[in-house]
């Protein structure tokens, strides 16, 4: 069973993978995570192999079926490291869109970004730099909106206008990011983040005030 899955991953045979799930009594249907996350004698999972070989559609299918996207080998490599090291930005897109952790490090202390740089996979370096910038901006947006919506977090210090303007600023930056996701440079994204933080500063500074 395991060898078949690794062969499917290597060849990128999406239809053949789906066939494994057709039998409702098979382990692929009853315990897909256990089946999909097996490792070969070299420690690689089917997801690692697919990412390493640039099998984008197979990567997507494996993740949707239950493959653990952030699972690491004994040396700390993830599928994201594999795709980055082998120069497959299209696989990186699928992995990042499905929650791959950009900060996980291998035994060399490398994130996927540094692994890509070591092997001179410039397109992967560029994509991961942009993905990290986008995530940084989204983190500010998400954290701010969470604070605004939770009275315990803002301790009643935000006025109605604070909440309205804070949400508006965040929505505007989120809309900008959605419309510029593919073409914005890293510098442009960080500039948007800095602008948002400046806009939010008067409101968020109220959280630093001590009670009187």
- List the pLDDT tens digit at each of the 212 positions of the chain: 568 999 999 999 999 999 998 888 888 989 888 889 999 999 999 999 999 999 999 999 999 999 999 999 999 999 999 999 999 999 999 999 999 999 999 999 999 999 999 999 999 999 999 999 999 999 999 999 999 999 999 999 999 999 999 999 999 999 999 999 889 999 999 999 999 999 999 999 999 875 44
Enclosing H/E stretch for 80: helix 79-85
Distance of CA 182 to the CA centre of its chain: 16
Distances (CA, A) of 167 to 32, 115, 162, 170: 40, 37, 8, 5
Distance of CA 27 to the CA centre of its chain: 28
User: CB-based burial of residue 103 (10 Å sphere; 0-12 exposed, 13-18 middle, 19+ buried)?
Assistant: exposed
Structure tokens, 93: 């897109």
Structure tokens, 53: 């070989």
Give the Cα-Cα-Cα angle 113, 115, 117 (nearest 5 degrees): 70
Residues across the chain: 212
Structure tokens, 13: 């045979």
8 Å CB contact between 144 and 152: no
8 Å CB contact between 112 and 102: yes
């Amino acid at each position: 069973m395991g060898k078949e899955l690794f062969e499917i991953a290597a060849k990128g045979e999406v239809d053949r993978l789906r066939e494994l799930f057709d039998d409702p009594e098979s382990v692929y249907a009853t315990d897909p995570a256990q089946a999909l996350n097996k490792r070969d004698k070299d420690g690689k999972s089917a997801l690692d192999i697919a990412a390493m070989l640039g099998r984008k559609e197979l990567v997507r299918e494996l993740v949707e079926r239950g493959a653990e996207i952030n699972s690491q080998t004994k040396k700390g490599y993830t599928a994201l490291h594999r795709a980055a090291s082998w120069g497959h930005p299209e696989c990186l897109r699928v992995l990042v869109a499905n929650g791959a952790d950009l900060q996980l490090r291998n035994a060399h202390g490398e994130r996927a970004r540094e692994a890509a740089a070591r092997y001179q996979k410039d397109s992967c370096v560029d994509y991961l730099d942009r993905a990290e910038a986008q995530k940084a901006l989204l983190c500010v947006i998400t954290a701010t909106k969470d604070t605004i919506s939770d009275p315990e977090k803002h301790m009643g210090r935000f006025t109605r206008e604070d909440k309205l303007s804070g949400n508006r600023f965040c929505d505007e930056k989120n809309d900008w990011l959605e419309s510029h996701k593919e073409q914005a440079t890293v510098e442009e994204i960080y500039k948007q983040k800095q602008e948002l933080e400046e806009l939010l500063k008067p409101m968020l500074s109220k959280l630093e005030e001590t009670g009187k």
